Amino acid sequence: MTGIQKQNIQDMRRQGLSYAKIADSLGISVNTVKSFCRRSRLNAVDTSSDTGNEICKQCGKQLKKIIKSRPRTFCSDKCRFDWWNANRMKIKRDGVHNLICNHCGGCFGSYDKNRKYCAHACYISARFGKEARHDQRAILP
């Protein structure tokens, strides 16, 4: 691929053209165009007018909408981590289920109602027959 073709691919991709249209117009393979765009991190940006309301949940920064990808919620990993750390307890859960361990018979609480063991040590003991050594932190009366 020549330098001129690379420049044309970059220009066409920024205009929002698909891989197939770029490949047809330049007379090269679709996979060549796709590989070059991915290596160069060239994503087509949607220029439609409905992108004005997507903002980052954490900082309020305007988000770019990428064609053929799911809508973004955060502008960066830092904002995503910060939001989850600040809102960890606000996530709706079904509540704590009181369960009985299939190995030791102890009671424990879990958000997952399908859990079978109170701890990893009980799972290992039940599966491989080894001695269970754990402190039963979440034992309920």
- For residue 134, CA distances in Å to 52, 56, 101, 103, 104 come to 53, 42, 13, 12, 11
What pLDDT is attached to residue 82?
A: 92
Mean predicted confidence (pLDDT) in 94-105: 87
pLDDT at position 131 over 80: no
Say how many C-beta atoms besides its own lie within 10 A of residue 108's C-beta.
Answer: 21
Q: Where are the alpha helices (DSSP H) in the chain?
A: 3-14, 19-26, 30-39, 77-86, 120-128
The residue ranges of every structural domain in the chain are: 3-39, 45-76, 89-141
What pLDDT is attached to residue 134?
A: 58
User: Cα(47)–Cα(67) distance, rounded to whole angstroms?
Assistant: 9
- Nearest of 112, 116, 109 to residue 94 by alpha carbon: 112
For 59, residues 6+ apart whose C-beta sits below 8 A from its C-beta are 75, 79
Residue 100, SS3 per DSSP: strand
Residue 31 binned pLDDT confidence (cut-offs 50, 70, 90)? very high
Strand partners, 62: 55
Range of 32-36, 50-54, 58-62, 132-136 with top mean pLDDT: 32-36
User: Cα(103)–Cα(81) distance, rounded to whole angstroms?
Assistant: 36
CA diameter of the chain: 74
Average pLDDT, the chain: 81
- Look up tokens 């940006």; give the residue: 45
